[in-house]
Amino acid sequence: MTYPPTWSYPPDQLTRADLKTLKPKEYEQAREAGRLDQLTGAPPRPPAEGQLTRADIAHMTPHQIDAARQAGQFDQIMNGDAA
């Protein structure tokens, strides 16, 4: 699947070598912060701020669309203010 270029992984992604040095609590914190996303094959995330476009929707799962809608990232589209 291809994702919009505005999507990215959270900063400070960890490597397999990094995992060997983490304690269980550090591992859980890194997972919750999204620092394992690339390593686990999770998709990149839409921008935390700003409005998404119809082009973005075409590459999103239903869960991602719902999360972005709840975060207000489709307000412009839903109000008819964007293409």
Domain range summary for the chain, segments of one domain joined by +: 1-44, 46-83
- What does R_g of the chain's alpha carbons equal in angstroms? 15
pLDDT at 83: 45
Cα distance between residue 50 and residue 28, in whole Å = 28
Mean pLDDT, the chain cut into blocks of 10 residues (83 residues total): 79 93 96 93 78 87 90 77 50
Written as six digits, the tokens of 15 are: 């490597």
* pTM recorded for the entire structure: 0.54
